[in-house]
């Protein structure tokens, strides 16, 4: 990926530093620190490390400098979401009958009203279909109507770097109030029994005839695979072309590609689950506002927000972030009105986040948030602002447990699972709970913010935001990561 949804950290630290402790001053070798941690391109940094017990600043460097934060922005987004909605909040996708019931048949359409559930996944659709079957419903004679009117019509926010190309990458999926499986298509590729034959390609878990897939794969020898899936065309006229080789002894491979048309393709996946439960919707799929007089049929409740935010931050999921920012805008628009048609806009959601930062956190200096996922390189936050959010959230017992649990653990889970490896680095396993951030353009960006459980100092809140420069050689993200790992280990061992 050019622009990764997974995020990683950096630490350009220890220029000429003394870490001030409660019991005195600890001197660290400046020469060693410079040789290990200073970037070669003279990039910019904003760093703050603060002890939570008394607010003591242990180290800072350019902490008030607002830089590109990348996916560390999701800390701000998740904090605002938990504040406004509460961890127990759920989103409700509602299903309506557009006509009277006659035995096992609804004489009319099936209407689906999206509520901005970002985790409407296959197992939820399976339960919906099973419950409709238990209710004795076997057929809808009308259309399948998808009502996305809670959100505006913008499916991809224009602030994204790839938006002009309508990216097919899974992390850049279109956003809609009713979205299935993160508005991505899961494609399963399995080898045939004989080398040289085409592989077996299908949408997971059920066949979806409305989605055109061209299979150009070949079954090869051994266990390795080299499979690609590329979308040609746009919207309803697009085709997925799957090509490459998969070994005859290889397990089933899965590829995920952003939907070209989330209404048609999401509805087609819904139809597949209904079909497997013995339920047919005879009409076509169309997007429209729910007709007046529709009868409530079924409510599909989401996972609670605490669980959803954990998925957002553990895996740095951009789709979840963008859907929830729009949902925040629908619930708390700038006008102060309640949920309304079309009020789920990026602008309304961002405005709610800005109010949270200024009114609840008390941030008065300048920042910039263009979207909640961090994909927008125009976002600007400082380490001091990030730490202020972390300190505030730690004081909120009503939201802090879910907020902390949403962060990956160093060496164990999420985007930090493969970090902090090696004999010495194992000392940090589980002690860092933090959100990561990475961008590769227009400059290299690597950031990390969260909490460090120090055995002597107690919990620390920290934020490290590193940006390369637009001129001269760029320090690579991988090098930023290595420096950060070494620096956090030094803090653990020498404080």
DSSP track, 326-348: HHHHHHS-TT---S-TT-B-HHH
User: Does residue 9 lie in a domain region?
Assistant: no
Contact 277, 128 (CB under 8 A): no
Q: Is residue 312 located within the same domain as residue 170?
A: no
At residue 162, the pLDDT reads: 47
At residue 441, the pLDDT reads: 85
Residue at a domain's end among 256, 285, 301: 301
Task: Tell me what the mean pLDDT of segment 250-267 comes to.
Answer: 93
Q: What is the CATH number for 110?
A: 3.50.80.20
Q: Is residue 133 located within the same domain as residue 257?
A: yes
Q: Is residue 212 located within the same domain as residue 318?
A: no
User: Does residue 201 lie in a domain region?
Assistant: yes
User: Does residue 178 lie in a domain region?
Assistant: yes
Q: Is residue 213 located within the same domain as residue 71?
A: no
What Cα–Cα distance (Å) separates residue 122 from each residue in 112, 158, 159, 186? 16, 29, 30, 10
User: Does residue 448 lie in a domain region?
Assistant: yes
Please give the residue that has the higher pLDDT: either 336 or 54: 54
- Under DSSP, is residue 58 helix (H, G, I), strand (E, B) or coil? strand
The answer, yes or no, to whether residue 2 has pLDDT greater than 60, is no
At residue 34, the pLDDT reads: 36
At residue 425, the pLDDT reads: 78
Q: Is residue 110 located within the same domain as residue 51?
A: no
Q: Assign 477 a pLDDT band (cuts: 50, 70, 90).
A: confident
Q: Assign 169 a pLDDT band (cuts: 50, 70, 90).
A: low
At residue 8, the pLDDT reads: 30
Q: Is residue 176 located within the same domain as residue 320?
A: no
Please give the residue that has the higher pLDDT: either 237 or 137: 137
- Quote the CA–CA distance of 147 and 22 in Å, as a whole number: 59
**265 Cβ contact list (under 8 Å, min separation 6):** 180, 185, 208, 210, 211, 259
Let me know if 55 is exposed, middle or buried by CB neighbors in 10 A (0-12, 13-18, 19+).
Answer: exposed
Task: Tell me what the mean pLDDT of segment 389-403 comes to.
Answer: 98
The answer, yes or no, to whether residue 238 has pLDDT greater than 80, is no
Range of the domain at 373: 18-87+307-494
Contact 311, 317 (CB under 8 A): yes
Please give the residue that has the higher pLDDT: either 120 or 173: 120
Task: Tell me what the mean pLDDT of segment 450-474 comes to.
Answer: 89
Residue at a domain's end among 301, 333, 365: 301
Task: Tell me what the mean pLDDT of segment 11-22 comes to.
Answer: 23
Q: Is residue 218 located within the same domain as residue 280?
A: yes
Residue at a domain's end among 301, 317, 347: 301
The answer, yes or no, to whether residue 36 has pLDDT greater than 90, is no
Q: Assign 204 a pLDDT band (cuts: 50, 70, 90).
A: very high
User: Does residue 467 lie in a domain region?
Assistant: yes
Task: Tell me what the mean pLDDT of segment 264-290 comes to.
Answer: 96
Dig out the tokens for 453 from the structure: 């459980």
At residue 21, the pLDDT reads: 19
Q: Is residue 71 located within the same domain as residue 161?
A: no
User: Does residue 12 lie in a domain region?
Assistant: no
Question: Mean pLDDT over all residues of the chain?
Answer: 86
Q: Assign 153 a pLDDT band (cuts: 50, 70, 90).
A: confident
User: Does residue 171 lie in a domain region?
Assistant: yes
Q: What is the pTM of this model?
A: 0.87
At residue 11, the pLDDT reads: 25
- At 286-319, the pLDDT tens digits run 999 999 999 999 999 999 999 999 999 999 999 9
**208 Cβ contact list (under 8 Å, min separation 6):** 265, 268, 269, 271, 272
At residue 155, the pLDDT reads: 74
Q: Is residue 319 located within the same domain as residue 358?
A: yes
Domain count, the chain: 2
Q: What is the CATH number for 62?
A: 3.40.710.10
Q: Is residue 167 located within the same domain as residue 113?
A: yes
Q: Is residue 325 located within the same domain as residue 217?
A: no
At residue 166, the pLDDT reads: 46
Let me know if 254 is exposed, middle or buried by CB neighbors in 10 A (0-12, 13-18, 19+).
Answer: exposed
Sole residue written with tokens 């004679």: 141
Q: Assign 210 a pLDDT band (cuts: 50, 70, 90).
A: confident
Q: Is residue 78 located within the same domain as residue 186?
A: no
User: Does residue 8 lie in a domain region?
Assistant: no
Q: Assign 342 a pLDDT band (cuts: 50, 70, 90).
A: low
- Quote the CA–CA distance of 56 and 486 in Å, as a whole number: 23
At residue 428, the pLDDT reads: 87
Task: Tell me what the mean pLDDT of segment 318-347 comes to.
Answer: 84
């Amino acid at each position: 990926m050019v622009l990764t949804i997974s995020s990683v950290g950096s630490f350009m630290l220890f220029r000429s530093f003394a870490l001030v402790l409660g019991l005195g001053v600890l001197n660290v070798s400046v020469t060693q620190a410079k040789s290990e941690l200073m970037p070669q391109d003279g990039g910019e940094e904003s760093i703050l490390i603060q002890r939570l017990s008394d607010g003591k600043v242990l180290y800072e460097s350019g902490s008030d400098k607002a830089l590109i934060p990348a996916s560390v922005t999701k800390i701000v987004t998740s904090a605002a979401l938990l504040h406004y909605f509460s961890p127990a909040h759920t989103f409700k996708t509602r299903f309506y009958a557009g006509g009277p019931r006659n035995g096992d048949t609804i004489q009319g359409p099936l209407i689906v009203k999206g509520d901005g559930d970002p985790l409407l996944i296959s197992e939820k659709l399976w339960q919906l279909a099973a419950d409709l079957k238990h209710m004795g419903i076997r057929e809808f004679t009308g259309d399948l109507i998808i009502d996305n009117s809670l959100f505006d019509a913008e499916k991809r926010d224009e602030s994204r770097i790839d938006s002009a190309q309508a990216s097919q990458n899974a992390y850049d999926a279109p956003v809609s109030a009713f979205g299935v499986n993160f508005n991505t298509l899961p494609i399963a590729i399995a080898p045939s029994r004989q080398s040289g034959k085409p592989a077996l390609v299908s949408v997971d878990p059920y066949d979806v005839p409305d989605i055109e897939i061209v299979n150009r794969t070949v079954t090869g020898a051994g266990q390795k695979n080299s499979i690609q899936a590329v979308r040609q065309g746009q919207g309803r006229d697009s085709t997925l072309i799957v090509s490459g080789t998969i070994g005859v002894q290889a397990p089933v491979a899965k590829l995920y590609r952003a939907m070209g048309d989330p209404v048609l393709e999401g509805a087609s996946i819904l139809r597949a689950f209904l079909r497997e439960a013995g339920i047919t919707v005879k009409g076509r799929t169309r997007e429209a506002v729910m007709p007046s007089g529709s009868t409530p049929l079924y409510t599909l409740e989401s996972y609670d927000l605490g669980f959803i935010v954990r998925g957002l931050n553990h895996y740095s999921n951009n789709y979840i972030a963008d859907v929830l920012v729009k949902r925040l805008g629908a619930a708390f628009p700038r006008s102060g009105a309640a949920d309304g048609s079309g009020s789920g806009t990026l602008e309304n959601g961002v405005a709610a986040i800005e109010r949270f930062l200024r009114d609840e956190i008390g941030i008065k200096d300048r920042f910039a948030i263009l979207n909640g996922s961090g994909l927008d390189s125009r976002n600007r936050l400082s380490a001091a602002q990030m730490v202020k959010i972390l300190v505030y959230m730690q004081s909120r017992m009503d939201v802090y447990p879910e907020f902390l649990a949403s962060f990956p653990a160093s060496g164990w889970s999420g985007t930090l699972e493969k970090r902090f490896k090696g004999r010495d680095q194992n000392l940090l396993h589980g002690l860092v709970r933090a959100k990561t951030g990475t961008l590769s353009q227009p400059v290299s960006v690597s950031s990390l913010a969260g909490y460090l459980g120090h055995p002597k100092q107690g919990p620390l809140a920290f934020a490290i935001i590193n940006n390369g420069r637009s001129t001269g050689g760029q320090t690579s993200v991988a090098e930023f990561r290595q420096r950060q790992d070494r620096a956090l280990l030094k803090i653990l061992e020498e404080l």
